[in-house]
Amino acid sequence: MGVKVGVLALQGDVSEHIDAFFAALSRRGCGSTATVTEVRSSQDLAGCAALAIPGGESTTISRLIEKNQLHEPIRNFPGGIFATCAGMVLVASRVDDPRIRPLGLVGMAVDRNAFGRQRESFEADIPVDGLPGQPFHAVFIRAPVATAIDDNVRVLARVEQGIVAVECGKHMALAFHPELGRDTRLHERFLQACGI
């Protein structure tokens, strides 16, 4: 049986991440044997080598994680976690909003809506440390930023407002939405870090 990648399917950019991971797995040469599956319960998480926590509304996703009894299964998940936008907020150890129970998987403090409201959303080409080729075209939608990181967290990218991409072991957290473009380099880098 091939590798299985899960996408937390409680709210947010679920189908976009599924498509991006299929494309990334194909480019890594394991598309024919891999599956990408929606995760809504701890049973769905079983057998996954990696999990994406997509962008969406972080307070809603946090509430649904609790409702579906997924907080501890995700905290104890042995695979890598690819967290984007709201996902970056959720994997942090410290969040500026008391409505969110952070998963504490990446040692960082996160400012939830660092760029303001929806109308302040923007796109930018940003250099990502260790990513070969052109800068990454990043789509920021009501994006967070990391305002402080622990010593074991590697900063991959910054903008004027703060840190927007980090790695910590097999985990990657991004303030932007890489699944909204055709560039799968970050998905591929994450899969490689997970040994996929």
The catalytic residue positions are: 85, 177, 179
- Residue 65 backbone phi and psi in degrees, to 5: -60, -45
What distance in Å separates the CA atoms of residue 72 and residue 79, rounded to the nearest whole number?
A: 14
In the block, tokens 């044997």 appear at: 33
What distance in Å separates the CA atoms of residue 125 and residue 136, rounded to the nearest whole number?
A: 5
What distance in Å separates the CA atoms of residue 164 and residue 126, rounded to the nearest whole number?
A: 10
- Residue 136 backbone phi and psi in degrees, to 5: -90, 130
What distance in Å separates the CA atoms of residue 186 and residue 178, rounded to the nearest whole number?
A: 7
- Among 181, 182, 185, 80, which residue's Cα sits nearest to residue 128? 185
For 24, the enclosing helix (H) or strand (E) is helix 14-27
Q: How many CB atoms lie within 10 A of CB 23?
A: 18
- Say if CB 76 and CB 33 are below 8 A apart: no
